[in-house]
């Protein structure tokens, strides 16, 4: 009986031992993880145009405030409000009767002065012969000479009065001081105006070309100047200039040229004021209109981009991407990015040409996981600037 019990116990111990050995063998077999399928973009250096987006408003290139230069009653308005006029075109007619009379009086005075000069010259000419023979005294002769000089001075004085009268008469026709577009008329027929008044009759604005006044943030200005100085940006005169965009996204057809850059920073905007000149033959651009300006500075060399969808953020806000290393494993790479261009971030540090950045399938990855990478051709062309 004891022998049978011993055999049962031994069999149980043997069975338990075999179970433990089998379990240990199973645990020692390594687990094989299948590579995770991802798509990547292989980075390549490229060039990019350096463009600043600035806001500004349209201004007339010249503005003339038309005021009367003589006193009188407005007889007629000689222009249509909002019409184009040329320099010298008549805008208003002021009652000229008083100024015609003043001119007639001045001309009469000039005739009197001319006659007096003629008489003085005749007397002096006679005395020239008589004084030599002592038929007239030296004092009378000197008086004759003085009278000629006085008559000449009178001619000059009265001649100036004639010129002034002519000028005043001509100013009864108020003319356009520049070529441009007239504004609203602030005076009508029958209104009394004067030469010293502050109120304007109308305005004339030159709209071809027009000016665009822009504000460039001073930090961006200094950073760009430093990049140009260091050679990071190469000037390209063929592409330089300003293109304007309207609120609806429409791009103005003509390119504008910078005409002025202020040497001081505007206290209200903390920006550098730029002024550009834009051709405007169709009068598409009107004073006061708000526009956005694309200012092309040059070409930035050896630039790397990554698609937006490849970049994520740490809780601290730092940018990171996942790349495929030389062993086909996913790794995290911390990067620094600058401005966004379309669907891309410009990379300033953390990546180099030839890096394979994961663009799809990276959300489920952990560092060190094996991956099977395939090139995303569409995003690759977008990122590296190749044509489809």
**Residue tagged 């075999």 (tokens):** 18
Which pLDDT score, from 0 to 100, does residue 2 have? 47
Q: Tens digit of pLDDT for each residue in 290-334? A: 999 988 888 888 889 999 999 999 999 999 999 999 999 999 999
Both 283 and 307 in a single domain? no
pLDDT digits (tens, 9 = 90+) for 26-78: 444 455 568 889 999 999 998 888 888 888 899 999 999 999 999 999 999 99
Task: Provide the token pair at 310.
Answer: 């490849």
What's the length of the chain? 388
Residue 351 belongs to a domain: yes
Share above pLDDT 70 across residues of the chain, in percent, rounded to a whole number: 90
Count of CB atoms within 10 A of residue 153's CB?
A: 12
Each residue of 9-32: pLDDT tens digit? 555 555 555 455 455 444 444 555
Does one domain contain both 246 and 313? Answer: no
Using CA atoms, how far apart are residues 258 and 374, in angstroms rounded to an integer?
Answer: 47
Tokens of 234: 């190469």
336 lies in the same domain as 355: yes
What is the DSSP secondary structure assignment for residue 309, as one 8-state letter?
Answer: G
pLDDT at 338 over 80: yes
In 218-248, beta strands by DSSP E:
233-234, 241-245
**Are 281 and 231 within one domain?**
yes
Q: Is the pLDDT of residue 212 over 50?
A: yes
Strand 241-245 vs strand 233-234: parallel, antiparallel, or unpaired?
unpaired
**Inside any domain, residue 131:** yes
Per the structure, the complete domain to which residue 354 belongs is given by: 36-47+302-384
Residues 114 and 228 in one domain: no
Last residue of a domain, one of 154, 187, 204: 204
Res 12: pLDDT: 52
The number of folded domains in the chain is 3
| Claim to verify: residue 220 and residue 269 sit in the same structural domain | yes
Is residue 376 situated within a structural domain?
A: yes
| Domain of residue 351, CATH code | 2.40.420.20
Residue 10 belongs to a domain: no
Task: Kindly provide the b/e burial profile for residues 79-92, where b requires at least 16 CB atoms within 10 angstroms of the residue's own CB.
Answer: beeeebbeeeeebb
In sequence order, the β-bridge partners of residue 49 are 299
Greatest Cα pair distance in the chain: 195
- Would residue 12 count as lying in a domain? no
Q: What is the pLDDT of residues 217-247, one digit of tens each?
A: 888 888 888 877 877 788 766 667 788 988 8
Residue 306 CA to residue 352 CA, distance in Å, equals 11
Looking up residue 151, the CATH number of its domain turns out to be: 2.40.50.100
Q: Taking 50 as the threshold, does the pLDDT of residue 7 lie above it?
A: yes
Domain boundary among 188, 204, 220: 204
Q: Based on the domain organization, do 233 and 169 belong to the same domain?
A: no
Which tens digit of pLDDT belongs to each residue from 107-158?
A: 999 999 999 999 989 988 888 878 777 777 888 888 888 999 999 999 999 9
Q: Which of 204, 221, 247 is the last residue of a domain?
A: 204
The answer as to whether 4 is a domain residue is: no
Identify whether residues 276 and 179 lie together within a single domain.
no
Q: Are residues 175 and 227 in the same domain?
A: no
**One domain, residues 99 and 173:** yes
Are residues 320 and 331 in contact, defined by beta-carbon separation less than 8 angstroms? no
3-state DSSP assignment of residue 332: strand
């Amino acid at each position: 009986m004891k022998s049978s019990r011993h055999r049962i116990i031994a069999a149980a111990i043997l069975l338990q031992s075999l179970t433990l050995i089998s379990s240990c063998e199973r645990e020692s077999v390594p687990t094989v993880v299948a590579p995770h399928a991802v798509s990547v973009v292989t980075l390549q250096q490229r060039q990019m145009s350096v463009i600043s987006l600035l806001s500004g408003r349209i201004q007339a290139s010249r503005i003339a405030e038309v005021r009367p230069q003589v006193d009188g009653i407005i007889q007629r308005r000689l222009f249509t409000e909002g019409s184009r006029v040329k320099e010298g075109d008549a805008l208003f007619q002021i009652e000229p009767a008083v100024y015609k009379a003043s001119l007639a009086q001045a001309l009469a005075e000039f005739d009197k002065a001319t006659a007096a000069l003629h008489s003085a010259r005749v007397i002096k000419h006679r005395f020239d012969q008589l004084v030599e023979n002592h038929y007239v005294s030296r004092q009378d002769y000197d008086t004759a000479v003085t009278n000629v000089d006085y008559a000449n001075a009178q001619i000059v004085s009265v001649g100036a009065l004639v010129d002034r009268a002519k000028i005043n008469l001509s100013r009864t026709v108020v003319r356009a001081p520049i070529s441009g577009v007239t504004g609203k008329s602030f005076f009508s027929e029958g209104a009394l105006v004067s030469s010293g008044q502050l109120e304007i009759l109308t305005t004339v604005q030159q709209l071809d070309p027009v000016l665009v006044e822009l504000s460039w943030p001073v930090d961006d200005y200094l950073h760009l100047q430093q990049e140009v100085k260091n050679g990071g940006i190469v000037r390209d005169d063929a592409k330089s200039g300003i293109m304007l965009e309207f609120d609806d996204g429409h791009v103005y057809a003509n390119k504008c040229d910078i005409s002025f850059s202020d040497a001081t920073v505007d206290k209200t905007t903390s920006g550098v004021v730029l002024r550009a000149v834009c051709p405007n033959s169709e009068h598409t651009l009107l004073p006061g209109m708000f526009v956005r300006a694309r200012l092309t500075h040059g070409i930035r060399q050896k630039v790397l981009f990554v698609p937006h969808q490849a970049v994520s953020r740490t809780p601290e806000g730092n940018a990171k991407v996942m790349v495929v290393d030389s062993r086909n494993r996913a790794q995290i790479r911390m990067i620094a990015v600058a401005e966004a261009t379309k669907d891309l971030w410009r990379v300033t540090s953390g990546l180099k040409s030839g890096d394979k950045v994961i663009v799809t399938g990276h959300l489920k990855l952990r560092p060190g996981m094996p991956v099977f990478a395939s090139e995303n051709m569409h995003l690759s062309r977008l990122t590296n600037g190749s044509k489809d």
